[in-house]
């Protein structure tokens, strides 16, 4: 490359100090008379310097946002249209933004290469091209052939150093020449340049973009004021793919500058930008879809409080159309004190970064919905405020639950409590605590440890251990213990708990303590009755009164010991199992009649053990009524009276024998008394009458003795009882 002939190369650096820029400028081969590098911090200072001194190149060291970069390059271009501007950055994403506003070159630093050498080559290219243009503008004359050849060679060298492919087309759209990008030997489509010369541009350009290209050329030809047009097009590659490019096209004119003979184009590969845009578009579509899918209302308001973005849920909840929502003031959705609180929440969000508020959302039809709004301050990449972004959640269900909870608190007899996992804070306890613990709720809130201190000493260690375990597994906590009230009264309590988590962290434990004193006492009483029944010295049975057979539903162990049968064997037809050949039918009928008539009854009946031996049982059946007075069961009591029955039978036999003897002795006084009465009647003598009276007196004494003996008779007693009560006492044994 020809050396620059006039003065040192002057380069102005804008931005931070850079060893890379300093070393690259110092290595410029075209600077035969040396280099001059000056630096300023801001674009404003650069504009002042450019007004004071001529520079061959401006190097902009980029560290800010793409917006700030575009503003900086645009400001330079607005004042110095032809000055080469090289942007040095470590952000590949800044390339398109810089080129789109007129940057000559964008150099992206990379760790895997020699950045100094690469930047030096780039600077050589732009400085040489700028110098050549200046020399052409300064000559004002046609170059000699030798100079022309040198200029052409210089131009080719410049083109080959460019990172973009350059081509020329004739007016038919056929390639005249192609210079691949940088050190590439093939075109972006994978062809050798010689393979495409003479071919139509449709060979490499996607069909869908050909019309766009034709319109661009037509604009250049028909509008003399248009010196360059740009459009995007896809170029087919040799592997069948399509690569997106931005095509910058300028007209090629005849020497007189009038007629357009063709076009020159520069291809800028924008694959990375298109891919970023595609990903950004997909991400945006995903975000939009996600926002429209969530149940919460999403919103974005600007720094002035106007609504600028919302999701489908927000639109449905408010009842407004998208057109109506656009630009609405956020406070229009609230009334009264709610509006003031929301305004305060927005102000706090802008000041502190985040805020939360509950308010009634006023819908388009005037109805309201309770919502909880959580907003966060939104800033751009430069930290400038853009507004407030947030979500609103319908808390109608929560409000209803809170109302129900208040009702439960007011009316439930259970103690509802809420504590920290460590039990060092009781945040809530219902009024029922005062009835069961006998202490005020205020005392518990002030001293959480009093909750356990009131537990009965015999239960306290167990409860404290369970509460310690509750921190690890709150849902498993289920304890029954006693509480001692200040006056000494003891209450039985069943205590359960459940965990409350926030983002997976245990934050609270909620519990319910129920007074089970009455139930516990009933259970203890029932247990006592059960023990009495099981340990009673008589057999006890329970029978189903709704079953005509009097099905046995329960029998204690004593009955099994008495009969030798298990209860399951006696369940159906217990009398038929226990009766035998000598069992009196009258006694069985008495029992069956009592069950049929729902009346209490008793009978002494001869039954049989499982081994076949007989025994006497005094069986009493009594009806059991429910709350409505309906007999549902019979309870039976079965006592072995074999020994006393046999004793009675022996006594009866002896009394019968003695009675027979007395009856035999009665015959003599009766007969003698009758004889004396007959003699007295015949003779009329007093001694006969006196003798008869003596025999009558002896008979009276014998009758008294017989009556006394009969007073010991069991049969006589049972007969007397039967005459009094009507009970059947006949014995068929």
Look at residue 145 in the predicted model and tell me its pLDDT. Answer: 40
Look at residues 211, 149, 413, 394 and name the one whose alpha carbon lies nearest to residue 295: 394
Which contiguous run of DSSP H or E holds residue 310?
strand 307-310
590 with 577: CB under 8 angstroms? no
In whole angstroms, what is the distance from residue 711 CA to residue 722 CA? 16
Look at residues 224, 226, 245, 227 and name the one whose alpha carbon lies nearest to residue 235: 245
Q: Are residues 500 and 456 in the same domain?
A: yes
Q: Are residues 635 and 656 in the same domain?
A: no
Look at residue 136 in the predicted model and tell me its pLDDT. Answer: 39
Q: Is the pLDDT of residue 724 over 50?
A: no
Q: Is 731 part of any domain? A: no
308 with 328: CB under 8 angstroms? no
Look at residue 386 in the predicted model and tell me its pLDDT. Answer: 86
246 with 230: CB under 8 angstroms? yes
Look at residue 487 in the predicted model and tell me its pLDDT. Answer: 93
Q: Is 3 part of any domain? A: no
Q: Which of 138, 153, 180 is the last residue of a domain?
A: 138
Structure tokens at 454: 């009131």
Give Cβ neighbours of residue 717 (< 8 Å, ≥ 6 apart).
none
Q: Which of 398, 433, 468 is the last residue of a domain?
A: 398
In whole angstroms, what is the distance from residue 574 CA to residue 636 CA? 12
Q: DSSP states of 170-215 as a string?
A: ETTSBEEEEE-STT-SS-TTS--HHHHTTSBGGGTB-HHHHHHHHH
Look at residue 459 in the predicted model and tell me its pLDDT. Answer: 95
Band of pLDDT at residue 668, cut at 50, 70 and 90:
low
Q: Are residues 24 and 127 in the same domain?
A: yes
Q: Are residues 372 and 437 in the same domain?
A: no
Sign of CA dihedral 212, 215, 217, 223: negative
Band of pLDDT at residue 267, cut at 50, 70 and 90:
confident
Tens digit of each residue's pLDDT (9 = 90 or more) over 84-116:
888 888 887 777 778 777 788 888 887 766 788
Provide, rounded to the nearest whole percent, the portion of the chain with pLDDT above 90: 17
- For tokens 């053990």, the residue is 609
User: Which range is least confidently modeled, 48-57, 521-530, 583-592?
Assistant: 521-530
In whole angstroms, what is the distance from residue 2 CA to residue 7 CA? 14
| Span 598-618, average pLDDT | 90
Q: Is the pLDDT of residue 732 over 50?
A: no
Look at residue 84 in the predicted model and tell me its pLDDT. Answer: 86
409 with 325: CB under 8 angstroms? no
Rg of the chain (C-alpha set): 59
Long-range contacts of 425-434 (CB under 8 A, 24+ apart): 426/451, 427/508, 432/515, 433/513
Band of pLDDT at residue 672, cut at 50, 70 and 90:
low
| Span 392-417, average pLDDT | 77
Q: Is the pLDDT of residue 181 over 90?
A: no
Tens digit of each residue's pLDDT (9 = 90 or more) over 437-482:
999 999 999 999 998 999 999 999 999 999 888 888 888 899 999 9
**Residues of the chain by 3-state class (helix, strand, coil), percent to 5:** 45, 25, 30
Look at residue 337 in the predicted model and tell me its pLDDT. Answer: 92
Q: Is 155 part of any domain? A: no
342 with 352: CB under 8 angstroms? no
Mean pLDDT of the chain: 80
Q: Is the pLDDT of residue 532 over 50?
A: yes
Q: Are residues 657 and 634 in the same domain?
A: no
105 with 94: CB under 8 angstroms? no
In whole angstroms, what is the distance from residue 359 CA to residue 311 CA? 19
In whole angstroms, what is the distance from residue 361 CA to residue 3 CA? 75
Look at residue 481 in the predicted model and tell me its pLDDT. Answer: 95
Look at residue 708 in the predicted model and tell me its pLDDT. Answer: 63
| Span 420-428, average pLDDT | 88
Look at residue 440 in the predicted model and tell me its pLDDT. Answer: 93
Look at residue 667 in the predicted model and tell me its pLDDT. Answer: 61
Q: For the chain, report the end-to-end CA distance as a whole number of angstroms.
A: 148
Tens digit of each residue's pLDDT (9 = 90 or more) over 370-397:
999 999 998 887 788 888 999 998 888 8
CATH number assigned to the domain comprising residue 45: 3.40.50.2300
In whole angstroms, what is the distance from residue 609 CA to residue 616 CA? 10
In whole angstroms, what is the distance from residue 448 CA to residue 435 CA? 17
In whole angstroms, what is the distance from residue 426 CA to residue 443 CA? 11
Band of pLDDT at residue 697, cut at 50, 70 and 90:
confident
Long-range contacts of 483-486 (CB under 8 A, 24+ apart): 483/436, 483/437, 483/438, 483/454, 483/455, 483/456, 484/454, 484/455, 484/456, 485/437, 485/438, 485/439, 485/454, 486/438, 486/439
Look at residues 651, 621, 659, 628 and name the one whose alpha carbon lies nearest to residue 715: 651
Q: Is the pLDDT of residue 613 over 60?
A: yes
In whole angstroms, what is the distance from residue 253 CA to residue 573 CA? 126
DSSP 339: H
Q: Are residues 462 and 341 in the same domain?
A: no
Q: Are residues 95 and 203 in the same domain?
A: no
Q: Is 421 part of any domain? A: yes
DSSP 329: B
Tens digit of each residue's pLDDT (9 = 90 or more) over 555-605:
888 888 888 888 778 777 777 888 888 888 898 888 888 888 999 999 998
CATH number assigned to the domain comprising residue 450: 3.30.450.20
Main-chain phi, psi angles of 556, to 5 degrees: -80, 175
Q: Is 493 part of any domain? A: yes
Which contiguous run of DSSP H or E holds residue 19?
helix 19-26
Q: Which domain holds residue 177?
A: 164-274
Structure tokens at 48: 């002042």
Look at residue 130 in the predicted model and tell me its pLDDT. Answer: 61
Q: Which of the two residues, 697 and 152, has the higher pLDDT score? A: 697
Q: Residue 215's beta-bridge partner residues?
A: none
Top mean pLDDT of 193-197, 462-466, 467-471, 636-640 is at: 462-466
Tens digit of each residue's pLDDT (9 = 90 or more) over 113-135:
678 888 888 888 777 666 544 43
Band of pLDDT at residue 319, cut at 50, 70 and 90:
very high
Q: pTM here? A: 0.35
Q: Are residues 28 and 115 in the same domain?
A: yes
In whole angstroms, what is the distance from residue 265 CA to residue 667 CA? 166
Number of structural domains the chain divides into = 6
Tens digit of each residue's pLDDT (9 = 90 or more) over 475-516:
889 999 999 999 999 999 999 999 888 778 888 899 899 988
In whole angstroms, what is the distance from residue 209 CA to residue 219 CA? 16
What are the angstrom distances between the C-alpha of 628 and each of 339, 594, 598?
62, 21, 15
Structure tokens at 244: 């997106």
Provide, rounded to the nearest whole percent, the portion of the chain with pLDDT above 70: 79
Please return the burial class of 303, using the count of CB atoms within 10 Å of its CB with bins 0-12, 13-18 and 19+: middle
588 with 575: CB under 8 angstroms? yes
Q: Are residues 24 and 66 in the same domain?
A: yes
Look at residue 686 in the predicted model and tell me its pLDDT. Answer: 67
Q: At what angle do helices 115-139 and 145-161 cross, to 10 degrees?
A: 150
Look at residue 183 in the predicted model and tell me its pLDDT. Answer: 66
Look at residues 228, 223, 159, 166 and name the one whose alpha carbon lies nearest to residue 193: 166
Q: Is 355 part of any domain? A: yes
Q: Which of 640, 669, 694 is the last residue of a domain?
A: 640
Q: Is 279 part of any domain? A: no
Give the SS3 label for residue 544.
strand
In whole angstroms, what is the distance from residue 350 CA to residue 178 CA? 57
The vertex-8 CA angle with 6 and 12, nearest 5°, equals 125
Band of pLDDT at residue 665, cut at 50, 70 and 90:
low
Q: Are residues 371 and 421 in the same domain?
A: no
Q: Are residues 13 and 122 in the same domain?
A: yes
Give me the half-sphere count of Cα atoms (radius 13 Å) on the Cβ side of residue 52. Answer: 8
In whole angstroms, what is the distance from residue 294 CA to residue 384 CA? 29
Look at residue 366 in the predicted model and tell me its pLDDT. Answer: 93
Q: Is 37 part of any domain? A: yes
Structure tokens at 575: 């009398």
Look at residue 640 in the predicted model and tell me its pLDDT. Answer: 86
Look at residue 253 in the predicted model and tell me its pLDDT. Answer: 78
- For tokens 């030096």, the residue is 120
Main-chain phi, psi angles of 611, to 5 degrees: -80, 5
- For tokens 């002042």, the residue is 48
Q: Are residues 315 and 370 in the same domain?
A: yes
| Span 67-76, average pLDDT | 81
3-state secondary structure 115-161: HHHHHHHHHHHHHHHHHHHHHHHHHCCCCCHHHHHHHHHHHHHHHHH
142 with 178: CB under 8 angstroms? no
Band of pLDDT at residue 338, cut at 50, 70 and 90:
very high
């Amino acid at each position: 490359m020809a050396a620059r002939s006039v003065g040192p190369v002057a380069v102005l650096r804008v931005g931070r100090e850079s060893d890379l820029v300093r070393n690259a400028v110092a290595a410029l081969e075209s600077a035969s008379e040396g280099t001059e590098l000056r630096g300023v911090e801001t674009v404003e200072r650069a504009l002042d310097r450019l007004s004071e001194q001529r520079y061959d190149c401006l190097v902009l060291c980029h560290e800010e946002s793409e917006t700030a970069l575009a503003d900086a390059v645009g400001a330079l271009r607005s004042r110095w249209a032809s000055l080469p501007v090289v942007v040095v950055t470590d952000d590949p994403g800044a390339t398109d933004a810089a080129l789109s506003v007129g940057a000559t070159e964008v150099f992206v630093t990379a760790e895997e290469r020699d950045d100094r050498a690469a930047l030096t080559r780039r600077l050589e290219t732009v400085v040489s091209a700028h110098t050549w243009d200046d020399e052409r503008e300064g000559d004002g004359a046609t170059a000699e052939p030798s100079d022309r050849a040198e200029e052409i060679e210089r131009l080719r060298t410049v083109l080959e150093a460019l990172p973009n492919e350059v081509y020329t087309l004739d007016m038919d759209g056929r390639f005249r020449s192609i210079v691949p990008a940088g050190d590439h030997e093939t075109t972006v489509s994978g062809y050798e340049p010689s393979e495409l010369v003479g071919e139509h541009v449709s060979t490499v350009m996607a069909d869908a973009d050909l019309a766009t290209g034709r319109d661009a050329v037509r604009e250049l030809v028909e509008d003399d004021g248009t010196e360059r047009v740009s459009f995007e097009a896809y170029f087919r590659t040799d592997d069948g793919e399509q690569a997106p490019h931005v095509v910058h096209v300028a007209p090629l004119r005849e020497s007189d500058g009038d007629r357009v003979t063709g076009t020159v184009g520069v291809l800028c590969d924008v694959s990375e930008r298109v891919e970023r845009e595609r990903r950004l578009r997909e991400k945006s579509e995903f975000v939009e879809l996600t926002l429209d899918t969530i149940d919460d209302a999403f919103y974005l308001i600007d720094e002035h409080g106007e609504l600028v973005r919302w999701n489908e849920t927000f639109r449905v909840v408010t009842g407004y159309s998208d057109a109506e929502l656009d630009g609405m003031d956020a406070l229009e959705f609230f009334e009264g004190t709610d509006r003031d609180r929301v305004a305060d929440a927005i102000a706090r969000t802008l000041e502190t970064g985040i805020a939360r508020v509950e308010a009634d959302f006023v819908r388009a039809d005037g109805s309201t919905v309770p919502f909880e709004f959580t907003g966060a301050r939104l800033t751009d990449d430069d930290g400038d405020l853009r507004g407030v972004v947030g979500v609103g959640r319908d808390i109608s269900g929560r409000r209803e639950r809170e109302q129900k909870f208040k009702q439960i608190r007011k009316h439930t007899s259970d103690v509802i409590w809420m504590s920290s996992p460590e039990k060092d804070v009781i945040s809530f306890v219902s009024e029922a605590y005062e009835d069961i613990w006998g202490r005020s709720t205020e005392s518990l809130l002030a001293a959480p440890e009093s909750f356990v201190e009131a537990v009965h000493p015999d239960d306290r260690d167990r409860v404290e251990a369970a509460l310690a375990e509750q921190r690890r597994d709150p849902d498993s906590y289920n304890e029954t213990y006693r509480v001692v009230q200040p006056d000494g009264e003891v209450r039985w309590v069943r205590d359960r708990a459940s965990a409350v988590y926030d983002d997976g962290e245990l934050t609270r434990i909620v519990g319910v303590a129920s007074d089970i004193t009455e139930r516990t006492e009933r259970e203890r009483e029932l247990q006592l009755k059960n023990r009495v029944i099981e340990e009673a010295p008589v057999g006890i049975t329970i029978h189903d009164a709704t079953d005509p057979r009097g099905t046995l539903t329960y029998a204690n162990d004593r009955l099994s010991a008495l009969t030798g049968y298990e209860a399951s064997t006696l369940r159906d037809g217990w009398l038929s199992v226990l009766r035998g050949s000598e069992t009196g039918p009258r006694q069985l009928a008495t029992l069956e009649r009592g069950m049929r008539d729902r009346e209490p009854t008793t009978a002494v009946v001869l039954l049989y053990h499982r081994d076949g031996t007989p025994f006497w049982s005094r069986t009493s059946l009594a009806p059991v009524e429910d709350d409505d007075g309906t007999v549902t069961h019979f309870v039976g009591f079965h006592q072995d009276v074999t020994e006393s029955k046999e004793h009675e039978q022996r006594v009866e036999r002896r009394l019968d024998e003695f009675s027979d003897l007395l009856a035999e002795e009665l015959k003599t006084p009766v007969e003698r008394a009758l004889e004396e009465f007959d003699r007295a009647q015949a003779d009329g003598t007093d001694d006969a009458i006196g003798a008869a009276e003596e025999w009558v007196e002896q008979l009276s004494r014998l009758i008294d003795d017989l009556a006394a003996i009969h007073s010991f008779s069991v049969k006589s007693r049972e007969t007397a009882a039967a005459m009094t009560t009507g009970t059947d006492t006949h014995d068929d044994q």
